[in-house]
Structures are given as structure tokens and as C-alpha cells.
Chain A
Amino acid sequence: MNLLWLILTPLIGGVLAGFTGRRNTALPRWLSLACLAIDLGLVLVLWVTHDSTTVAANGTWLAQMDWPWIPQLGIRLHLGLDGLSLLLILLTLGLGVVSVIASWSEITERVGFFHFNLMLTLTGVIGVFLALDLFLFFFFWELMLVPMYFLIAVWGHERRIYAAIKFFLFTQGSGLLMFAAIVALALINYRQTGTLTFDYFALAQAQLGPTTQMWLMLGFFIAFAVKLPVVPFHTWLADAHTEAPTAGSVILAGLLLKTGAYGLLRFAVPLFPAASATFAPVAMTLGVIGILYGAMLAFAQDDMKRLVAYTSISHLGFVLLGIYAGNTLALQGAVVQMLAHGLSTGALFILVGALQERLHTRDMRQLGGLWSSAPRIGAIGLFFAIASLGLPGLGNFVGEFLVLLGTYRVASGFAIAGTLGLVVSTVYALSFVQRVFHGEQQTSKTVVDFSWRHMLVMATMIIALVWLGCYPQPAFDTASSALANLQRVASERLSRPGEP
């Protein structure tokens, strides 16, 4: 089957939704759902039917396609699906469905254009997870920004324009640095081999001096660090997540942040292994700072959405730590952490969004005691809050524990400091539950509890999180060959003569 369909299906859905939206508000939602379901079906079929022994020349790939696109510049439409991409695409489509359902009652104006942007963002994200040509990768990387910008700027909350522009400038600016690094890498390879190409495998063969390698690696790292986000580059995140509509927040936290982690895993580390190894202590320090600082900031917030946004910084700190610890345990942990964070944070954003829709405030000082009037929301909120603090048996615990375990073998100091993050996360998660659901009820409004539609979504996410927490083996199996691939690309590069 052609991998292009994985990208085209949501695109077609988005365009159809955009055209039908002017006359009918229900049709765009159903069309989007249908296309996402079809895409999900395609991925599942690929996952189930693939022959796990297929080993292409460049490692284990479930599927690949390689078409010319701009032959004069050596740019190809090269897509590849391995276990890592597959898991992340499953997450993308799952959260895509969730966001469409979550915006069912929230978005009532310009429904067609909303779904057009939503589906286009998903198209870009899926493209990022599939691209094996660096130019193509950057193409998708930028492609997801514009519709995301519109999602925030048109359907967002009070300070949406400020947040949207800040988001766009941060990501675009850092993206251009990466683009310069990509072009430089391709041109260096061109001088050495005489063929201009942006192909991932070809560029992994380029000979680079230590200084060049470090500069190029930094170009990539900054782009991914802004997206992840790593602490000095994180300021866009709280604003964007807070001001975005619920679906936008879910996609930002659940998916766009993952593209940063994916970029580090797929490109920054394997393409520049020596520079990454030199840089690892710095990156791991930034990761630990992110874990602790993000958690502390989260605790200090009065705005529910801001709180959830800052927890993302903390959780993604674990991912950064795991990626630069570099051993299989830590990498597996990072992958599971990405999936679990997507689910738990996505669910929390939906919950907070639902509360805002009902009460028209996100300020926790004006909330409290909601459990009695909305027990379903309360119970589900408690569940995802403790998932977020890393309770054993849920996905986040597996991820964080494996990352810490793997890091301990490499650099025990970072692991010990990172563990403190688990303590702080308990504080913010429990205080969130306390301030919103317990205590005196501040508002006289009666809160309508979750509808069956929301319950269905939440139940699915709870099941997925419990599954990931109790039986993460399928995820490990799927990711393991991909991670081995990445480590192989890096080690081949390190063992080549002439490498620093």
C-alpha cells in the first residue's frame, strides 16, 4: 500500500470539510471523523499485516516509498514507516478523532474552516513522522504551522492574537535555522560526492569535521528544542496552549511537541552522533531543568490551562533526558512517555476545556467543589491528574521510570535530580484536584456533567493509558526495531574512519 495515502486521506478530508462547511455544520465534523477513521484503518492494517522480517537495505521498515519530486535539486518524495513512526501516527490519528469530538459543541462558528485547519495540521504532523527526505521533512514541518496558527488566532480565547503570533514566530525562526543547517549539510555532501541530495540515508554518510558537525547539530537542536520545548525556549508554549481552543491545545500538546522529540530521535542524534555525545551533558542538564522548572511553574498557576501547559514542559523534560541518555532502556522510556503524555495531557486539556465551556473561567480561584455537581468530570480529572504525577500502573509511570533507569546507568546525577520531578509533580497534580473539585463550591452555576460523547472519548483514553501502563510490551516491540535502526545509523557513523 502506498504511504502517500496516509498523508492524503486527512488532506482530502480537510478540503472536503472546508467546502461543505458553509452550508452545513454537521457535515464537516462527520467528514473529518470518517477520513481519520479510514486513515486509522489503513495504519492498523499496515501494522497487523506487515512482515516483521522485512529488512530493507537501510534497516527495518514496515513500508517505504521513494518518488522523484524536484529532481533538479535532488529532492525526493521519500517516505518511510517504521515502528516509531507507526506509534506516533497512531497517536496522531487517535488524538485527531478526539479533537474533532471535543470541538463538537465548543466550535459553532466557521465550522468548515475550523476542520480544514485541523485536518491540515494533522496532515503536516503525519508527514513529519513519515518524511525521510530532509527537504520534505522541513516542508511538512512548516506546513503544520500555518493551520495551527489559524486555529489559535481565529477560535482561541482572549489573548489569541498575541499567542498565535508568538507561537508562529518562535517556531518559524528556529525552523529557518534548521533549514540553513539542512541546506549546509546537503551542500557539504554535494561537494564530497558530486550528487545533490536531501535523502536521509545519503546525508548520514557525509563526512563532517567536529566543528561543522557541532554547528549543524545545534541548528537542528534549536528547532526541535523550541518545539519540545526545552526551558530557555519555552515561553511560547504556555501562551499558545492557554489561548488555543480545546482541539488546538490537544493537538499542540499531544502532537506538535512530539514532532520536536521525534526530530531529535530521528535526525539530530543519528545524523550527528559525535556532536550529540559531546552535547549530551548540556542537553540532559536542560532536560532536568525542564522537569523541575516546569513542575514548579505548574504549581504556581491559577489558570487551569496554564497549569496543564507547564506540566508538558516537565514531562517533555523526561523525553529529552531519555533521548540524550541514549541507551535502549531510556529510549524506550522516552517513546512510551511521548505516547502517555499525549494521552494524559490531551485528556486534561479536554477536561479543562469542558469546564471552561460550562463555567466561562479557567481561574482556579473561582472554582472548587465541582465534584458534587459533576462527579464524572471530577473522577476523570482525578484519574488523569494522578496519571500525570506518574502513578504506577499507568503509562506515564512506565515512561518516566524507564527514562530514569536508563539515565542512571549513564549519568546517575541527572537521574537523581530528575526523580525529584516526580515529587513536585505530585504536588501540582494533587493541588489541581483539590482546588478544582474539592472544597467549597465558589460558583452558583450548576455544572452539567460530561455527556456520553465525552465519556466515550475519556473511556478510550483511560483504557489506552492503563494498557500502556500495565502491558507496554506491544509498544516496546513495535518501537524496538526502529530504535535499533537509529542507534545503528549513529554507530555506523561513529565507527567510520575520519570521524571525530
Chain B
Amino acid sequence: MSGTDLTAILPFIVLGGTAIIVILAIAFCRNHRLTALLSLLGLVLCLIAIWPASDMAPRHVTPLFVIDRYALFYMGLIFAASIAVLLLSYGYLAARREQPEEFYLLVLVATLGAAALVASDHFASFFLGLETLSISLLGLIAYPRDHEKPLEASVKYLILAGISSAFLLFGMALIYARLGTLEFARIATLLTVNDAQPNLYWLTGLALIFTGVGFKLSVVPFHMWAPDVYEGAPAPVAAFVAVVSKGAMFALLLRYFVTANADGFGPVPMMIETVAIASILVGNLLALLQDNIKRILAYSSIAHLGYLLVAFLAGGALQIEAITYYLVAYAVMTVGAFGIITVLSAGAAAEIEDLDAYRGLIWQRPWLGGAFAAMLLSLAGIPLTMGFIGKFYAIAAGVNSAMWPAVIALIVGSVIGLFYYLRIIVAICATNPDDATAYIGAIPKTGGATLAVLTLMLIGLGVYPTPLIHLIQVTAAQIAAK
């Protein structure tokens, strides 16, 4: 391993180093503020380390990892999302009596797993990254260990993660049996050389892998765990699961399908299209029945993954750009929405997640209520927000490939989706005086500042998305060239 290789994986090294330093710091001196500061500093350094690494890109480091601009862009997204989650968690954890220090450690390790996923070019690193992520998430979900719901959610997640890993491993084994390689790039060449006809082993393997990935993405019919886990997990962890875990998984899926030749997929795209349409419709329809905001957001996330799959299947020139923009938008608005729940719940005994508890919020806390309304409108895809440009990309990608059933599902789903986002907005704008949300305590400063930044990004990049689109075009689009 040369110096160049080490520079290329500098973000990994910094992140791993930070995790070790944080362990030692906790061992010697249990101090919440110090731990948070160290973790934060580490993640910021990781973000900075992307610049030297990008000079080396694209570069294969061992057969396991490829550090290209695509990977670096997604790493940046993951690090930024983790920073936001950490900042939101700080005030939340400070107000609770549990020992908060290990929380940061788990977030760091989970982030490392997610970053490994987006850079992996090999089934082995794929699996390693995934397990690192999943196992840390188990700890995070069950972090408030005195309560029943988080434990239940964690067990549910444990079982489903186990099952999905089993599917993944079996799929990988089948593909290995057929082609004798675990490298994505080799798979592509072997497929084109060996057989034009898709083979049963290969297709079964592919379908099993998509099933395993589908669990992680919580797309229909593998979505059952999502609402329960989101509801049970602490709000910042739910944001982490929704954004970092799903985002990294999606980035990996995209890399795999772009790298491995698209002609050899047989009926798999049709299967994915069915899953996409089902996710959009089922996610949106089930969200209508919920009264718990975290469950609503869980179902809405299922639907959003459906929209992403539409763009994913569309292929073509727009594919990577569309998905990447959508994922960034999704990250901002999802972390933002869960962030509101986090900061509101900071001073409360239990999390404030019931729809009725939000009645009249905008009159009590105009900025917070306004930010929440902006996040929800963005999730619904209304102009002036990033969600609108994201939805534009999804529709454009679908129309470009003439996937009319999927486009119609997207439109119908958006209209249904609007209904439950509006339900929340109706609640936060309720004008009856007896609805006053009197329980709200002080808002933690770090959380408030994070939300302000997220809202500014949401509107700024929604009105003038040019810089972000430019960044995506010069970075993330890099895998297409391979």
C-alpha cells in the first residue's frame, strides 16, 4: 500500500482514528461535552480529508475499495448528515439521564460502515460495510435502554437485519458460483464475455441481493420494520437510519447496477419497477392512517424510496444526477423533519410524536413551526424547496425513459402524500386557543442552529440549485465514465 493509496483512503483513516480516540477519551474521562466535541471535530476533519483524497481519484485501493469522485461525494453527504445528527443529538442527550458518551462512538462507527459501503467495489467490502453499519445501529436504536419501545424496535431491527444479510449472502454465493468473482467490475466483463443470455444462477443471485438491499431500503414488500423501528428509536437515530443507512445503501445499489452491465439483468428491472410502484402507493396510503408523526415520516420515507427507484430504473444520462440530487434533498428534509421532533422533545420526558401535540406550534414557536412547515412542503415537492427540484428530476428521469406506469404512480403518490403532509401542517397551524402547545421547554442551541442551517439550505438550494447540480455533475457523475 503506497502513500497515494493512504491519501485516497484518508477519510477512512481519520474516521477510524477518531473512533479510537473517542473510546480512549471515554475510558479516561467521561465527559459529555468533550466526547461530543471530539466526535464533531473528527467528522469535520473527515470532510476536509475529502479534498486530498479527491486528488487521487479515481483509484482502486486493494481490490475491495474504489475511491472515485462518486464515492467521495457520497462520503461527504454521509459525513455532513452525521454531523447534523450529532449536533441535534447533543441537546437531546444532555437533557436525558442516560450516559450519553457511547452514543457518539456508535454514530462514528456506523458512519464508517456507511462510508465503506459507498466506496466498495467488491461483495466482501459491501458485506463488511453493511454489517459495521447495522450492528452499530442496533446499539443506537436501543440506546434509551430503560424504555420498552426502543428495545422492541432494536430486536425487530436485529431479526430483519439478520434475515436480509442471509438473503444477501446467498445471492452473493450464487453469483460467485456462476462467475467465480466477487468484484463488481469483473462481473461486468465476465457477463459480456461469457454469455449474452442471462443465466438462472445470476438472475436468482441478483434477485436475492435486491431483496436483501430492499430490506435495508424498506421498500414494499420489505417495509414492515420501518414504522416500528422509526417509532421506537430516538428521533435523531431515526433520522440517521432514514438518511445515512438508506442513502449509503442506495448509492451502493446504483454503483453496482451501473458498473455491472445493464443488459444482463433480464426481468430484474421489471421486478424493481413493480417494487417502486408498490412502495409509492403503499407507503403513501398507509401514511394516511397514522397519527404518530414518526410513523408518518416512516411511511413517507418508504414512498420517497419508491420515487428514487423510479429515477434509478430510468437509466440514461439523467440517472445518476437525478438520484444524487434527490438523495441530497431527501437527506436535508428528513434530517430536518426528525430534527424538529428531536429539539422539541429535548426537554420533555417522552418524545413528542403525537400529531395532536403539535397543534398550534407555529403560533407558539414561529421559527420552529415555519421550519417544520418548510420541511413538510419540501417532502411534498412544493416549489422554493429542494424537494421540488428533486421531484422534477424524478419525473424527468421517468418521462425520459417513457416509464409511464411509474410516472403516473409518482403523480398519484405525490397527491396522496400531499394530503398527510397537509394534515401535519393543519395541526401546526391550528388556531383554537385551547390547542396551545404549552409543554415546550427551551430549545437546545446546537439543535436550533442546525435546523436553521438545514432550512436555509432547503430553501437556498431549492431556489438556486445551480451550484449543487454543478457539483454533482463534476463529481458523482464519475462512475458513468468507468
Contacts and interface: CB of A to CB of B under 8 A. Distances in A.
Interface of A: 22, 69-73, 109-110, 135, 138-140, 142-143, 145-146, 149-150, 153-154, 161, 164-165, 168-169, 172-173, 176-177, 179-180, 183-184, 187
Given A153-B426, A154-B429, A169-B419, A176 B392 contact: no
Contacts of A71: 466
Interface of B: 363, 366, 377, 382-384, 388, 392, 395-396, 399-400, 407, 411-412, 414-415, 418-419, 422, 425-426, 429, 431, 464-466, 469-470, 473
A180 B392 CA distance: 9
A169 B382 CA distance: 12
Contacts of B414: 172-173, 176
Contacts of A164: 422, 426
B415 A172 contact: yes
Given A71-B466, A169-B415, 18 more contacts: A69-B466, A70-B464, A72-B473, A73-B469, A110-B363, A135-B392, A140-B383, A142-B382, A142-B383, A146-B382, A149-B422, A165-B426, A169-B419, A176-B411, A177-B411, A179-B395, A180-B411, A183-B395
A139 B383 contact: yes
A195 to B, nearest CB: 13
B469 A72 contact: yes
12 contacts: A70-B464, A70-B469, A73-B469, A110-B363, A153-B425, A169-B415, A169-B418, A176-B395, A180-B395, A180-B407, A184-B399, A187-B400
Contact of A165 (B383, B412, B422, B473): B422
Q: Which 9 A-B pairs have the closest CB atoms?
A: A173-B415, A176-B411, A142-B383, A72-B469, A139-B383, A183-B399, A183-B396, A184-B399, A143-B383
A140 B383 CA distance: 8
B363 to A, nearest CB: 7
A133 B407 CA distance: 23
B377 A146 contact: yes
Nearest to A124: B383
A168 B422 contact: yes
Contacts of B388: 139, 142
B429 to A, nearest CB: 6
Nearest to A188: B399
Nearest to A177: B411
B335 to A, nearest CB: 22
A70 B465 contact: yes
A153 B52 CA distance: 52
A138 B391 CA distance: 13
Contacts of B419: 165, 169
A154 B435 CA distance: 14
A112 to B, nearest CB: 10
A183 B384 CA distance: 18
Contacts of B431: 109-110, 154
The residue among B412, B429, B464 with the most chain A CB atoms within 10 A of its own CB is B429
Contacts of B415: 169, 172-173, 176
B302 to A, nearest CB: 20
A325 B323 CA distance: 45
Contacts of B384: 143
B329 to A, nearest CB: 14
Contacts of A146: 377, 382
Given A70-B465, A169-B415, A183 B429 contact: no
A71 B425 CA distance: 34
A149 B377 CA distance: 12
Q: Identify the interface centre among B426, B469, B470: most chain A CB within 10 Å of its CB.
A: B426
A93 B433 CA distance: 34
A145 B381 CA distance: 12
Nearest to B465: A70
Nearest to B423: A165
A136 to B, nearest CB: 10
A187 B426 contact: no
Contact of B429 (A150, A169, A180, A187): A150
A395 B471 CA distance: 54
B418 A168 contact: yes
A187 B238 CA distance: 38
A138 B382 CA distance: 11
Nearest to B402: A184
B470 A72 contact: yes
A154 B396 CA distance: 35
A292 B470 CA distance: 54
Nearest to B426: A161
B364 to A, nearest CB: 13
B466 A72 contact: yes
A165 B417 CA distance: 12
Contacts of A165: 419, 422, 426
Contacts of A169: 415, 418-419
Contacts of B465: 70
A199 B240 CA distance: 40
A165 B366 CA distance: 22
A42 to B, nearest CB: 23
Contact of B399 (A73, A110, A180): A180
Nearest to A112: B366
Nearest to B422: A165
A70 B466 contact: yes
